[in-house]
Homo-oligomer: A and B are copies of this chain.
Amino acid sequence: MFDVRRSSFNITCERLCFFKFRMDRFDPVARAISLDLPGPSLGDNRSHESRVRAALEYILGQPPLFPLKICKVLPDILSSSGYKVQTLVLDGPSGWEVAQVSAAGDPLRSYGLAVDLGSTTVVFYLVDLGSGEVVSTLSKSNPQRVHGEDILERILFAGQGNGLETLQSEVVGLFNSSVREIAAGHDMSPEDICFIALAGNTNMCHFFLGLDPGHICREPYIPVVNRFDLIRPGEIGINAHPQAWLYCFPNVGSYFGGDLLAGILASGMHLKEEISMLVDVGTNAEVVLGNRDWLVACAGAAGPALEGGILSCGMRAQPGAIDRVDIDRNKLTVMFHTKDGKSPEGLCGSGIIDLLAAMFVAGLVDPTGKLVVDRDSARMQQVGGEWVYVVAGPHETGHGKPVHISQSDIKNLIRSKGAMYTILNVVIQSVGIGFEDIERFYVAGAFGNYIDPQKAIIIGMLPDVPLERFKGLGNAAGTGAIEALTWRKARKEVEEICDKITYLEMNVRGDFMNQLTGSLFLPHTDLTRFPSVAEMMKG
């Protein structure tokens, strides 16, 4: 194993930049405001409600709404506290609204919950809305997986009997139990959560809100809802502050969900003059190109191979997963790094891309994707009538079985990376620019952040542009959801993004299949597109 200096992939620097960016944009959706009010007199005999509302209007710049149930408790609270109160205001559907008023001594918390609702994993972020700090993160497996890892299986399940209610109640149950778990660790109660922002793909959001997903996967691919209005969490059974709001990121279509919109928000590309491209790498390749004036988006199937899903030795990025690989191009020695330093058990997404790139550079696989079996007779072996390349032998692995990559794995991989590149290419061609015109490539997605862009270029998955143009976004959906809590204007910005986006239906574009053919090589049939790779291969 070797020290992979590049594996952190600018994360530290990025995080700093991100925080700086965030601090410029800190204006949370909930505010706890203390008021020391003048008492009433004959010369100032406004109502209790007017007294509080006017003070808040002065601070907020607009008068907040004042629910009846809070008006009811005002006389007691104001007189018992000597007109010194704490208020909690939330940014609801029509602006600020009073969610709570209590005597000044009582502690008043304002927490937000940001949620990245993935089909596999659900990540909860508890955000202190006073500071904008993420005080707790909790990652949970999506309980809906028992009905199928694949979304299509869950859509079918939703259509049977009370399947949809089951899917909804499973996620709602996960919400409530996770919030309890987080709350227990922070001396708070679920009722202290006054705003929830949730990013998920179109299907996941439909399951979550109990909306029939039946038309999403059938032509012409109609979601029930594109833009969700704020709802009361209690309406779907989620425990939170009684006046809390839940924001669910909208979607632009069946295949372009709120998770990606949250990613755009997190990247900030919608605010910049420079042209950026956001690539969400996964089973579906989701791509957004544009700047503050225009945005073009596209999503297409890249195949599960890239995530390791269908490979013979593929696995999730769990301890024991090989996430970095290099091969000495002369000695053919293999170096790898595993998650948490455990003995290897399989290859995760970033490891697979590293491996294919290293094998190509070392001449172990040819440009058509065929294993060069003579090149390393020790590691090239036949398993079940098929050639494989052994990355780690049985003596090295945790489970005593070899970790290898097979000829058909490589074919699958090349189809996936080819599809990815072709989607990127179709998108830039649709607006008549070249990759060189793009100042910044944001890479997001479950494992997108861990991809070494240099290796992805070598296999022809990402375009051959200067490496410094690539930026990992981390969990972009989660970051976007957090921003929807800490930056009031985010919801408006997301609406503007939706209005601005031109969505290209990849399924109906003929040029996709034409262009795909050239991408089914390493890195591409047209080597002038990958000058740095051509240069490297010469060396």
Contact = CB atoms under 8 A, between A and B. Distances in A.
Interface of A: 40-42, 44-50, 53, 65-69, 71-72, 74-75, 93-95, 209-212, 214-215, 219-229, 231, 235-236, 251, 253-254, 505, 508
B47 A222 contact: yes
Given A45-B254, A47-B225, A75-B212, A40 B94 contact: no
A522 to B, nearest CB: 35
Contacts of A68: 209, 228-229, 231, 235-236
Given A93-B65, A93-B94, A94-B95, A71 B40 contact: no
A72 B211 contact: yes
Contacts of A222: 40, 45-48
Given A65-B93, A231-B68, A48 B225 contact: yes
Contact of A50 (B40, B72, B226, B254): B226
A229 B93 contact: no
Given A222-B47, A222-B48, A229 B67 contact: yes
- Determine which residue in A48, A53, A67 has the highest number of CB atoms from chain B within 10 A of its CB, and name it: A48
A42 B226 contact: no
Contacts of A214: 75
Contacts of A223: 47-48
- Determine which residue in A46, A224, A235 has the highest number of CB atoms from chain B within 10 A of its CB, and name it: A224
A71 B227 CA distance: 10
Contacts of A49: 224-227
A254 B47 CA distance: 9
Contacts of A75: 212, 214-215, 224
A209 to B, nearest CB: 6
Contacts of A224: 47-49, 71-72, 74-75
Given A44-B220, A93-B93, 6 more contacts: A42-B221, A47-B226, A48-B224, A49-B226, A50-B226, A75-B214
Contacts of A211: 71-72
A219 B508 CA distance: 75
30 contacts: A40-B220, A40-B222, A41-B220, A42-B221, A44-B220, A45-B221, A46-B222, A46-B226, A47-B222, A47-B223, A47-B225, A47-B251, A48-B223, A48-B225, A49-B226, A49-B227, A50-B225, A50-B226, A50-B227, A53-B227, A65-B229, A66-B227, A67-B229, A68-B231, A71-B209, A71-B224, A72-B210, A75-B214, A94-B94, A94-B95
A229 B63 CA distance: 11
A72 B212 CA distance: 7
Give the 3 A-B CB pairs with smallest separation, nearest first.
Answer: A94-B94, A47-B226, A49-B225
A67 to B, nearest CB: 7
A156 B6 CA distance: 78
Nearest to A95: B94
A60 to B, nearest CB: 15
A236 B253 CA distance: 40
Nearest to A503: B45
Contacts of A45: 220-222, 253-254
A189 to B, nearest CB: 24
Contacts of A67: 229, 231
Given A45-B254, A94-B94, A225 B71 contact: yes
Nearest to A215: B75
Nearest to A251: B47
B42 A220 contact: yes
